[in-house]
Amino acid sequence: NSTGSPGGKTGSPSDISNCMGCHSDAGAGDGADISTNIPNDGYTPGSTYSITVSSAVTSFTPHGFEFTCEDNTNNKVGSFSITNSTLTQFVNNGNAITHTPSGSSSSSWSFDWIAPPSGTGNITFYTAIIQGGYPMGQNTGDLFSSSSLTFNEAIINTANNLEIEEDFFFNSKLKIVNLL
């Protein structure tokens, strides 16, 4: 679909379906890649991260994709921010990103993801990519790839510093029970 995914086609647990619902005869593609600047120790709640989804095959056009994020209980989490409206747009009630008509000639798409609130736990990104064959619109010769990537929620220690001021005129005691 050169205008973008109809939504709910990432293959995530809550989407259930992927591109193969419409492109049932698609062969195996050469891969879908998800890259991000989320640190290895996990995402920080409320922080914004860059995401890039790309197809391993760049000579095959058109390309289409859909990308979403879910927590361990299959709820859509976080939110997205469009950084290039020429190539990407919202889909699935804003819970996913897909290509635009202009974006179907690209093999790489970038956007931002704003991490969910504290306590969400592990999250998983899901993406599905279809590479259209010829003749266009016939769903023949298509290639399908998908990928997922999981991150933990970073553990933030809010008690980083402890300051003690002395007052030589009074006797006082300080008892630290727990800094966490």
The burial of 14, by beta-carbon neighbours within 10 Å (0-12 exposed, 13-18 middle, 19 or more buried), is given as middle
pLDDT of 38-61, one tens digit each?
Answer: 999 999 999 999 999 998 766 666
Mean pLDDT, all residues of the chain? 84
Sign of CA dihedral 15, 21, 23, 27: positive
Nearest Cα residue to 32 out of 64, 6, 73, 76:
64
Structure tokens that stand for 87 in this block: 């190539």
Peptide bond into 45 cis (omega under 30): no
Nearest Cα residue to 143 out of 135, 132, 134:
132
Q: Is the pLDDT of residue 163 over 60?
A: no
- Amino acid in the structure at residue 164: I
pLDDT of 86-96, one tens digit each?
Answer: 999 999 999 99
Backbone angles phi, psi at 86, to 5 degrees: -75, -35
Nearest Cα residue to 150 out of 36, 61, 53, 14:
36
Which range has highest mean pLDDT (17-21, 37-41, 104-108, 139-143)? 37-41
Nearest Cα residue to 7 out of 94, 87, 79:
94
| Distances 163 to 31, 120, 160, 168, 178 between C-alpha atoms, Å | 52, 31, 10, 16, 15
Question: Whole-model pTM?
Answer: 0.81
Nearest Cα residue to 68 out of 149, 131, 154:
149
